[in-house]
Amino acid sequence: MTVAVGQIWLVRDVGAGLRRRKIHVQITRIDGSTVHAVLAHSAETQHARDRTYPRSVFDRGLRGAQLEREADGHVPYSARPHARLQPMEDSATASDFVREVKPKVEACSERARRAMQLSDSGASLSDVAAALGVNLRRASTLIRQAREIQEDERNLRELRGGR
């Protein structure tokens, strides 16, 4: 986010104690990594109290800093709230949102299936790697992939009613 003189920001007031109220400040000048600002409603008066903030407060959105108005007066773009955040009907349950999703890997390779069989029969990882002619990392990956595919197939069968 670019910080510029004249912008109005909403920032959590550190001096507010436990209430942590948010205040509108207008940026009056920027000195390197220090930003000088005044309360937005008192920016026109001569007795406005200068407040200083580290520039990172505005750049990174610390203290809940949000840009309210650009220096030229227009409101910055903000994304529309996502449709999923709308209230749902009370009768919806978690199972209403379950979808049938294809597994990441559609078919288990013969090598992965063999790795899982060896592992299930009690062979150590180094034995599985030696039998398949691969290193330990690849043997572990093959076993994991085969188990994930087997689990995906089982879950899809349950979703379809045991077919």
Tally of structural domains, the chain: 2
Residue 14 within a domain? yes
Q: Where are the alpha helices (DSSP H) in 3-135?
A: 55-59, 110-120, 125-132
Q: What is the mean pLDDT of the chain?
A: 79
Residue 34 within a domain? yes
Final residue belonging to a domain, choices 69, 86, 118? 69
pLDDT per position as a tens digit, 118-159: 999 999 999 999 999 999 999 999 999 899 888 888 877 887
Q: What is the pLDDT of residue 59?
A: 86
- Based on the domain organization, do 63 and 108 belong to the same domain? no
CB atoms within 10 A of CB 157: 11
- Based on the domain organization, do 106 and 149 belong to the same domain? yes
- Based on the domain organization, do 155 and 115 belong to the same domain? yes
pLDDT per position as a tens digit, 42-63: 655 566 678 888 888 888 888 7
Residue 3 within a domain? no
* Domain housing 141: 100-159
Residue 77 within a domain? no
- The vertex-83 CA angle with 80 and 85, nearest 5°, equals 95
Residue 2 within a domain? no
Residue 94 within a domain? no
Q: What is the pLDDT of residue 153?
A: 81
Q: What is the pLDDT of residue 117?
A: 93
